[in-house]
Structure 1
Amino acid sequence: EEEQEEEKEEEEEEKERRMGQRKKRIATAARICPCSLSPVSLSADVTYVLWMFLVSLAWNWNAWFIPVRWAFPYQTTENIYYWLLTDYLCDLIYILDITIFQPRLQFIRGGDIVTDKKETRKNYIKTKRFKFDVASLVPLELFYFLTGINPMLRLPRLLKINSFFEFNERLEAILTKAYIYRVIRTTTYLLYCLHCNTCLFYWYSALDGLGSTSWVYNGEGNSYIRCYYYAVKTLITIGGVPEPTTLFEMVFQLVNYFVGVFVFSIMIGQMRDVVGAATAAQTYYRSCVDNTIKYMSSYRIPRDVQNRVKTWYNYTWQSQGMLDEQELLVQLPDKMRLDIAIDVNYSIVSKVPLFQGCDRQMIFDMLKSLRSVVYLPGDYVCKKDEVGREMYIIKEGEVQVVGGPDGKTVFVTLRAGSVFGEISLLAVGGGNRRTANVVAHGFANLFILDKKDLNEILVHYPESKKLLRKKARKMLNKGKNPEPKQEPKEPPRVPAAPVRTETPRLLRAALEMTERSSGLKGALAKVKEKTNKSKRHIITLQV
């Protein structure tokens, strides 16, 4: 029985192992060929981006080599099979894109992302892109049997240009420095225009006869390089080309000049926009620096202050790449700003002992209110006895708590993750004044939380507010030195009026005699009581 149980356990383990392997294969297949592809996040599906890269390569093959094979004698009977093999391979990529990938592209309907395969297929069929994709695969190659292998019959393949533009958008979404790719792409557009002009010039030269006139290509040297040189001089309007002799040559030259002016100006404008967008932040930085220097010079600010301002600008730009990171986040929704703040700052704030144990959502709300400030070496972050309106969290660098007779004695050095200014901010200890001087030891990057923002946050988290105040009191009491115990002192003696002892004795003797003689006991008792009270009062004053 034990052996049978062991065999059953082994069989179950084997089944589980096989099921696990099968699930892994299914998951791998789903990643390679998913049921649906997301168009919302342009960089979410790497598989689709790689596939669009292949489609873009196929489109570029047709765009660059169709005019070359039509104009230049590069397609011969010896290599025709290699050309056709590559052509049909590109056609296969087109077919796979139309039948497999594009019908799985998700779309948005009424704010909801539709992932159903049937619905995505119907949506793709209704789009104009589907019509262009189908038109790009029109089999005009059937006319090869009548006209021979003419590359111009493959011109409909260029109708799939939407795939090329989509690949550019998705690639720019992935790249961190997309402006570099934009510069390369704009340069490629110019090269392609020159490429087409080269093919047209050689085609007319071959049609009219190589070397037949001084204007056409004479057939010497490398045909493509010589014709490309001519295209550059005419399309970019450099000049220095031979004068046209025939009517067609004149018309061709005029069209070249006319188109060249527009094409070249458009390319230069696009290049200017791309470079301007890439250097917009640096241009803004230089503008701020120049305006600040101009302002300080007009008001004759001391030279040492101007140098410190310049140093702050240079360090802030080199360390952060921007002057105010809050400007970039203003247009984003609160949810996205919170996500960015959590990724950037939560690891630092969560390690602060003051906030440990507080409500997690309270910390999230506080992250959105933090602002980053850079202090130079020797800058006073806060001074003693000034009104505290901010709390500081050290992000990078060090600050020192200084004091003493000369104001330069270092009591403690605070490093990244430390918090200071919370006691005066929370008004613990009976006031909101700073209790010490804090100086930046080197370049220090601090997070600043304003008192107004903190109070608005703590209104919604009363328990966290109590916890913060409790911790702040402990920190305040921990920093105080215990006062020495003092022995109780004797209270000072109050001088009393001099006491006359003779009068009470005579009065008592007279009263006793009167009491015996007259028997007026009630009156004597009252006088005696007043005398005793007067005596007790005198004794108390002496003590």
Structure 2
Amino acid sequence: AAQGTCLPWEPKSWGGSAPPCGAGFCLPSGQKLLCQLSQQSRWELQQMSLFLSSLLVMLLSHASLPMRTGSATSLSSAIVNQRLQELVKLFRERTDKVKEKLTDPDITSDDESPATSPAPAPVPPPGGEPEGDKSAGDEHYCEMLCCKFKCRPWLYHLKNYQFPSSIDPFTNLMYVLWLFFVVMAWNWNCWLIPVRWAFPYQTPSNIHCWLFMDYLCDLIYLLDILVFQTRLQFVRGGDIITDKKAMKEHYLQSERFKMDVVCLLPLDFLYFKVGVNPLLRFPRCLKYLAFFEFNNRLEAILSKAYIYRVIRTTAYLLYCLHVNSCLYYWASDYEGLGSTTWVYDGEGNSYIRCYYWAVKTLITIGGLPDPKTLFEIVFQLLNYFTGVFAFSVMIGQMRDVVGAATAGQTYYRSCMDSTIKYMNFYRIPKPVQNRVKMWYEYTWHSQGMLDELELLVQLPDKMRLDIAIDVNYNIVSKVALFQGCDRQMIFDMLKRLRSVVYLPSDYVCKKGEIGREMYIIQAGQVQVLGGPDGKTVLVTLKAGSVFGEISLLAAGGGNRRTANVVAHGFANLFILDKKDLNEILVHYPESQKLLRKKARKMLNTNNKPRDEKAPGDPLIIRPKVDTPKLFQAALAASGRMGHKGPLAQLRWRLKEMQAAQVRWKVMLASSIHRPINICKAFMARLGQSPSAADTDITLAFLS
């Protein structure tokens, strides 16, 4: 107690009952051994120690007495001395074992890193009311005029929202959402300005609706310039700049700022002189940089970006047709509606009919009436040239998009065709070929790739480590063999894991083979087989289980597989090679010592016989063996012959030894039963049932 530290009392250690004083435990050498007791309990403990000490001294003194040869007493004393010495030795061994259990209850607790102390409880808020109850009962109300109403949670958070001082354009989803609104405003201008200019859809009766949408788009442009673009972070010399003044200066000096200013030229004031002409809003279409930025940010977020690329390429084609239809209506109106067979005749829906004409012209379908005037001929020639060029560009871009989307599938088919050609060349049996094809199909459909290392090798080590930690650290950290090891060593080990797919009924490892790998089940199940026929399922391991870890560090024949492990279905496993682990442990000598020590313990535990009795305290004083009947008959015959002969003398000496044993039993009983009774009373005071095992452990510890 003088060498230790006093810690709070733990009721679990004594069956849930508190000690009389309730003070705490004393921890010599960092372990919980004794507790502070009341004065009466300490006196009982001292009395019990005194009795055991006196008994031990008496036994040792008796064991050291010289034997007197040539008499029955000396013979009995020699036998008793030998037995007492054996008992003292056995009691000492048992005492050492019990002390080791008390000081080291967990077999690996001395090897693992000490657990971190729990964080202190948060200080309760002033006023005595718990914080959780306060937040649960807190209601948000808003006052408007003379009314008071309850706010919705999202309205309350929106009210207290603070706009960020700087925005990361690559990872901030709010900025991507804002770019979506800017692109919608840009599309409004790009699609409807040509329609309002060419077709008679803008009239004095609906001019206010058009102007409202125009100025709403201008407001979005203005907010983008004043609020968002001046808060975008940028990189200068490898550093991310988040200073407000620096971000504003960077935007004002960029080309994008000049384009944004041109977009918002106030040409609308010319409406008062020339009228509401949609062509005066054509500079609003120059904000195309926001459109391309939105495409890049959205493709980085989407998991299947090729779908958006196909939609965007189709929109390009539709927009070209849209502009061509507007130009055709303008040319028809310039020549006069219905003046020739080439121009629009003014019947039906003007936009649909002009759009149909634009489709036939740009895609060069043919079947159109021939132009009559010089203007119509020049217009038609320009239309054909533009159509051929635009259509070929669209087809080429669509091919690239589809090719990029199916690049992985093409690579998979190429690898599979090469493998099939190889197997046919060497005449591999059909069952083996079918299993190879099955492996290709399952690996591709489950992972989307044949070898994930080809993808990860392109990334830097830091990113590969981050991915490996997110995928495998929770599983590897739970392996008993690696608990308490250096954290960085585990990180290095995660980068060496490789993924392998096993088909149904594939042998992961076989009994008797040399173990050079450790397996971590990522998905699927494996079965451990044993029994006389080797087909009995001993246990089924599921996702997250680990096996074969002892083979990584076992030596001297201990790395042999002890059972067959078969994949129950399709199983995805991570494998760590012994060679890779040894290369890692060179840089972590302390972890290497710890791993080898744990491996020896686990190997010794696994090598124990199955029929061995459960670990417990062995009997020190075993029951006496009965005297053989033949020997008893010989002693009886010698008694009838008198006190002559060696058997008669042996019988007389045995009687003396039995009398000596009776005297020793009386003495031992008087010396042992009293401290045992004190021990039982002491443990009953602590609230425990005074079982024989508890009493024996207490006596051994006190001795």
TM-score computed with the length of structure 2 as normaliser: 0.63
Deviation of 1:288 (Å): 1.4
Maintained 8 Å contact 2:554/2:600: no
Distance in 2 (CA, whole Å) between partners of 1:481 and 1:412 is 19
Instruction: Report Cα offsets for 1:11-55 as digits up to 9, x if no partner.
Output: 9x9xx99xxx9xx9999679652111113xx2x212211211111
2:407 paired residue number: 280
AA partner of residue 494 (structure 2): L
The structure 1 segments of at least 4 consecutive aligned residues displaced by more than 6 Å after TM superposition are: 24-30
Within the candidate set 461, 464, 486, 2:588 is matched to 461
Deviation of 1:480 (Å): 2.1
Distance 1:388 1:9, change over 3 A: closer
2:350 paired residue number: 223
2:521 paired residue number: 394
Distance in 2 (CA, whole Å) between partners of 1:442 and 1:263 is 53
Maintained 8 Å contact 2:554/2:599: no
Distance in 2 (CA, whole Å) between partners of 1:422 and 1:321 is 29
Distance in 2 (CA, whole Å) between partners of 1:434 and 1:55 is 65
1:232 paired residue number: 359
Percent identity, aligned pairs only, is 74
Instruction: Report Cα offsets for 1:372-417 as digits up to 9, x if no partner.
Output: 1010111111233433332211222222233455443334333333
Within the candidate set 179, 197, 204, 1:77 is matched to 204
2:511 paired residue number: 384
Distance 1:212 1:200, change over 3 A: same
Maintained 8 Å contact 1:136/1:159: yes
2:450 paired residue number: 323
* Residues 1:163 and 2:290 are matched in the alignment: yes
| 1:207-218 aligned within 5 A | 207-218=334-345
2:164 paired residue number: 34
| 1:25-424 aligned within 5 A | 33-39=163-169, 42=170, 44-404=171-531, 406-424=533-551
Gaps of 5+ in 2: 1-125, 141-153, 613-703
Gaps of 5+ in 1: 1-7, 486-543
Maintained 8 Å contact 2:420/2:433: yes
Distance in 2 (CA, whole Å) between partners of 1:387 and 1:481 is 20
Maintained 8 Å contact 1:32/1:47: no
Deviation of 1:348 (Å): 2.0
Deviation of 1:236 (Å): 1.1
Secondary structure of the structure 2 residue equivalent to 1:369: coil
Distance in 2 (CA, whole Å) between partners of 1:285 and 1:32 is 50
Distance 1:185 1:32, change over 3 A: farther
Deviation of 1:464 (Å): 2.1
AA partner of residue 91 (structure 1): D
Instruction: Report Cα offsets for 1:176-222 as digits up to 9, x if no partner.
Output: 22111111111101100000000000000111111111111111111
Deviation of 1:263 (Å): 0.8
AA partner of residue 421 (structure 2): K
AA partner of residue 529 (structure 2): V
Distance in 2 (CA, whole Å) between partners of 1:373 and 1:313 is 12
Distance in 1 (CA, whole Å) between partners of 2:362 and 2:162 is 45
Distance 1:25 1:110, change over 3 A: farther
Maintained 8 Å contact 1:387/1:434: yes
| 1:405-484 aligned within 5 A | 406-430=533-557, 432-482=559-609
Distance 1:187 1:30, change over 3 A: farther
Instruction: Report Cα offsets for 1:241-289 as digits up to 9, x if no partner.
Output: 1111111111111111111111111111111111111121122112211
Distance 1:75 1:404, change over 3 A: same
Maintained 8 Å contact 2:526/2:567: yes
Maintained 8 Å contact 2:332/2:344: yes
Secondary structure of the structure 1 residue equivalent to 2:357: helix
1:527 paired residue number: none
> Using CA pairs below 8 Å that are at least 6 residues apart, which structure has the higher relative contact order?
2
Equivalent pairs, count: 468
Secondary structure of the structure 1 residue equivalent to 2:377: helix
Distance 1:121 1:26, change over 3 A: farther
Distance in 1 (CA, whole Å) between partners of 2:316 and 2:347 is 28
Distance in 2 (CA, whole Å) between partners of 1:48 and 1:384 is 59
Deviation of 1:10 (Å): 9.1
Distance in 2 (CA, whole Å) between partners of 1:264 and 1:99 is 39
TM-score computed with the length of structure 1 as normaliser: 0.81
Distance in 2 (CA, whole Å) between partners of 1:104 and 1:410 is 64
Distance in 1 (CA, whole Å) between partners of 2:214 and 2:539 is 74
Secondary structure of the structure 2 residue equivalent to 1:474: helix
Higher helix residue share: 1
Maintained 8 Å contact 2:521/2:543: yes
